[in-house]
Structure 1
Amino acid sequence: MTSAWSALTKPTSFPLRVRTFAAFPAPRLFDYDTVTSHLSVADAIDAVESAFGALAKGQVDVPMPMHIGVAETPTAGPGDCHIKGGYVLGAPTFTVKLACVSFYKNLEQGLPAGSGLFCVVDAVTGAPLAVLQENRYMTDLRTGAAGAVALKHTTLPGQELRIGFIGAGAIARTMARASKAVRPHFTGMVYGLAGADDFANDMHDELGLDFTVAASARELCESCNVIYTQTPGSDTVLELDWLQPGTTIIASGSDQPTKQEIPNDVLKASKYIADLIKQTSKVGELRGALQAGVMTEADVHAELGQVVNGDKSGREGDELIVVDLTGTGAQDAAIGQVAWDKLRNL
């Protein structure tokens, strides 16, 4: 009779494998200066558009974002950490991203309020290939690329565009650059509580387009047929009766349940397009309309990838369109692959 112990210790016919965690080379580290000097929003647009198309076909694994709130105490915070990631079917890499925002005490020390990094991973071996210290630069690029994709599919080639930017920060600048990449000829207007004059002057010099500063959000809305909103607060930034027929609103400021830029009556009146319904219903503009009972998920016209694929319509006439961009792991996977392809041979 064979004992349990002897059975466990009996020689086997297959070789024993010793687990080792030192077999993979260390991931390459790319610092902020390297990332920012080699990547632009124009690099990301095609990849992000393709990722949205794949997302709509169910070909992207995108988990819900994780949020870590760092409450203010004598030893920490305040701040927020967002973790996103995704894998596009057939891609050689996948990406996990960590973005830290609203660490406002950093300003007292001369440090930025946000930081972040991307980890690009080999989809064959599961080994990390690169850590990119991008401090939210790549996040801004993929957000701007999504804005460009939305603009491309909700306006018409050759249409006279007057593009307004509510909020004059880093994302607004990226949106302006992205807009130029897909609709090269437009006039711009900006309204912001701070930095609007610098934004208008800098974008005029960089893009070679006319930019003016609006005295109010209402003036901007009444003057523009495309409006980008990218504000950090929880207050809505426009009203329905300020908008022209045929306006496109591309909203990217809401990424957690405490934020809402677009009033519920505007959302209800619009052809509403989500980047990803399972996110916009929880942390995007759609969340407010659902909670107020003025919309259901059945009122959603499309996800952006469905418009990219031609399965749902974009701009058809003078309808009001709202595109709700909360940021998806598909975009992070796309920009991660772009970055690795551009930087790996440095």
Structure 2
Amino acid sequence: MMSSSIIRKVRALPLQKIVGLQASRAFASSGFPPPRLFDYETVTRNLTVGDAIESVEEAFKALAKGKVDVPMPMHIGIDESDVAGPGDCHIKGGYVSSTPTFTVKLACVSFYNNTKKNLPPGSGIFIVVCASTGAPLGVFQENRFMTDLRTGAAGAIAMKYCTNPGQDVVGFIGCGAIAKNMARAAATVRPYKGIAFALEGAEAFAKEMSEELGMPFEVAASAQDLCRKSDIIYTQTTGGSTVLEKDWLNPRGVTIIASGSDQPTKNEIPPNVLAASKYISDLTKQTRKVGELRSALEAGVMTDEDVYAELGEVVNGDKPGREGNEIIVVDLTGTGAQDAAIGQVAWDKLSQL
């Protein structure tokens, strides 16, 4: 027990020194320093979708070679009550072989009652861990920002490997945060003309992206109008109902890059479009449970054998991407490999600050 004189001395210390003493004692007892905390402003100020593309592409390559440990996502449903919800929590993670860190991500979404509290409906953190010691290195309060960056990076990779240079009219169904990252990422592949459609926000999206990227964007009168004009279609809606029809699609061939479905209640692409397509998953064991493939399997119009490839196989050159005037669907549910990739990038960049 400390004497009263020691207690008086500790109370007289500035708060920062007390916290420092506590951290030192924790370090001495546990053997590990505490993880660094990077707040939302630090994360958003220092990371861009461009930072993520190369690392995510390498992660897809490794994934196709079986060099990523990526478990199935964990989902926690928060039912609404007087003290909770409604909302959903998704936990993903992964380790890319021979990289110095691995990542576990917690993403909370659909907490719609937050609007009554003047808070956003989603939040989240990335925990980046040393792959040598197993000690957490950093906690990134990203509130889905890093998730959206790695999703946009996957969209760029899908465009790079599953379209041809002549496909330069790009449609965006859904015009939220993910669509903006898809638009930015697509611009790293080639210049294009953008077309936007959403139930709300399409005009603001088109204006912002045109000014930021220096490329023309227009607002479509309808999803059908957008599909008729587009060579490439990004869909990134909440995924509760399908957003296009087969007879709306450009007969010259189209690549649909769908990222709205990440749980069994979501579905953007009709089963007959999936069945008619060269279907490419980000990770088949995942898309058959929570992605677009799930609806086609349930409808009986596809089997696992109808999956053409996983995206990493196309990136590695094991199978070709576009070969003619075909329909290609790239089903992006978001893999732990991508989270591991952007986690490594974030640690490499922000730990130097």
**TM-score, normalization: structure 1?**
0.93
Q: Which residue of 2 aligns with 1:219?
A: 225
Q: Which residue of 1 aligns with 2:341?
A: 334
Asked whether the equivalents of residues 231 and 253 of structure 2 are also in contact (C-alpha less than 8 Å), the reply is yes
Q: Which residue of 1 aligns with 2:193?
A: 187
Alignment length, in residue pairs?
325
Whole-Å separation in 1 of the counterparts to 2:93 and 2:319: 26
Following TM superposition, by how much is the alpha carbon of 1:233 offset from its aligned partner in structure 2, in angstroms?
3.6
Corresponding position: 1:269 with 2:269: no
Whole-Å separation in 1 of the counterparts to 2:63 and 2:152: 18
Q: Which residue of 2 aligns with 1:239?
A: 245
Whole-Å separation in 2 of the counterparts to 1:322 and 1:336: 27
Q: How do 1:112-131 and structure 2 match up within 5 A?
A: 112-131=120-139
Counterpart of 2:92 in 1: which secondary structure?
Answer: strand
Counterpart of 2:204 in 1: which secondary structure?
Answer: helix
Corresponding position: 1:209 with 2:215: yes
Q: Which residue of 1 aligns with 2:310?
A: 303
**TM-score, normalization: structure 2?**
0.91
Please, what is the CA RMSD of the aligned residues? 0.8
Whole-Å separation in 2 of the counterparts to 1:65 and 1:326: 10
Runs of 4+ in 1 over 4 A off after TM superposition: none
Q: 1:260 aligns with which of 262, 267, 283?
A: 267
Whole-Å separation in 1 of the counterparts to 2:118 and 2:92: 28
Following TM superposition, by how much is the alpha carbon of 1:155 offset from its aligned partner in structure 2, in angstroms?
1.3
Deviations 1:52-102 (A, max 9, x none): 010000000000000000001111000000000000000000000000000
Structure 1 segments unaligned to the other structure (5+ residues): 1-19
Corresponding position: 1:102 with 2:110: yes
Opposite residue 277 of structure 1, the aligned amino acid is: T
Whole-Å separation in 1 of the counterparts to 2:54 and 2:202: 29
Following TM superposition, by how much is the alpha carbon of 1:156 offset from its aligned partner in structure 2, in angstroms?
1.8
Q: Which residue of 2 aligns with 1:3?
A: none
Deviations 1:119-161 (A, max 9, x none): 000000000000000000000000000000000001123x241
Whole-Å separation in 1 of the counterparts to 2:70 and 2:322: 27
Structure 2 segments unaligned to the other structure (5+ residues): 1-27
Whole-Å separation in 2 of the counterparts to 1:233 and 1:85: 23
Asked whether the equivalents of residues 233 and 254 of structure 2 are also in contact (C-alpha less than 8 Å), the reply is yes
